[in-house]
């Protein structure tokens, strides 16, 4: 009889311990069986190339340090024009004779525009999601007027959905031009890299 009570007591103890053990949440079990999500079709903003002239710009972009990005602008010397109309060289200010030398940062979007050196604090930098590609520019292939320099390197960024991609063109010591690219599909961006690159430093992921 004593043996029977001992066995019964042991069984009750085992059941009590099982009831007190923490259960694994169902969400954890489900999560552990789910396949990983699709990889993003671009490199993260923390990616670096090992090239100082490029990486210091990537650092300013990834940290959203607009002041540092402004400091990394390499202004272009161009002669202003008094002519009206879109495009062409920078416009002369009132009182500046036609052909006056000015220092500017060029922007290419649906139209071209410029920021003077004394207006650079008006530039809010770029807001992007990731890096699509980095390459050395084949300058003879990418024709441009002197006041829209193509740079030595190009860093191609992707933005939020339905927003233009952005290319920062880098000269000998900094950013010489900022481009908005409205067709930001992978096919278009890949074609741009293939057309312009003499050497691909960071290849597209897609």
- Alpha carbon distances (Å) from 140 to 78, 174, 195: 20, 20, 11
Note the pLDDT tens digit of each residue in 163-195: 999 999 999 889 999 999 999 999 999 999 999
Q: Does some domain include residue 108?
A: yes
Instruction: Show the domain range for 127.
Output: 52-202
Asked whether residue 198 is assigned to any structural domain, the reply reads yes
Query: What's 124's domain CATH number?
Result: 3.10.450
pLDDT tens per residue, range 117-150: 999 999 999 999 999 999 999 988 886 778 899 9
Consecutive H or E run containing 180: strand 175-181
- The tally of domains found in the chain comes to 1
Residue 107 lies inside a defined structural domain of this protein: yes
Q: Examine residue 74 and state whether it is found in any structural domain, yes or no.
A: yes
7 falls within a domain: no
C-alpha–C-alpha distance, residues 189 and 205, integer Å: 11
Rounded-to-integer distance, Cα 180 and Cα 164, Å: 6
73 within domain boundaries: yes
- The CA distance from 39 to 35, in Å, is 12
Determine, yes or no, domain membership for 160.
yes
**pTM > 0.85:** no
Mind listing the pLDDT tens digit for each residue in 33-62?
Answer: 555 545 688 999 999 999 999 999 999 999
* pLDDT tens figures, 67-105: 999 999 999 999 999 988 777 899 999 999 999 999 999
Residue 159 in any domain: the answer is: yes
């Amino acid at each position: 009889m004593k043996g029977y009570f001992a066995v019964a007591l042991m069984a009750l103890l085992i059941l009590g311990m099982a009831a007190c053990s923490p259960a694994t949440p169902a969400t954890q079990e489900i999560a552990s069986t789910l396949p990983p999500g699709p990889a993003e079709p671009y490199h993260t903003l923390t990616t670096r190339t090992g090239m100082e002239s490029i990486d210091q710009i990537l650092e300013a972009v990834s940290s959203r340090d607009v002041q540092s990005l402004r400091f990394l602008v390499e202004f272009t010397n161009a002669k202003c024009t008094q002519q009206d109309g879109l495009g062409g060289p920078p416009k002369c200010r009132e009182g500046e004779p036609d052909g006056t030398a000015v220092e500017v940062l060029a922007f290419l979007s649906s139209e071209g525009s410029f920021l003077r050196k004394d207006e650079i604090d008006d530039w809010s930098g770029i807001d992007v999601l990731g890096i699509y590609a980095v390459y050395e520019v084949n300058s003879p292939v990418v024709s441009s007027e002197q006041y829209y320099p193509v740079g030595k390197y190009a860093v191609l960024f992707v933005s939020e959905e339905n927003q233009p991609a952005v290319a920062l063109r880098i000269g000998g010591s900094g950013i010489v031009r900022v481009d908005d690219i409205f067709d930001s599909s992978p096919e278009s961006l890949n074609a741009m890299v293939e057309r312009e690159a003499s050497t691909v430093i960071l290849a597209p992921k897609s």
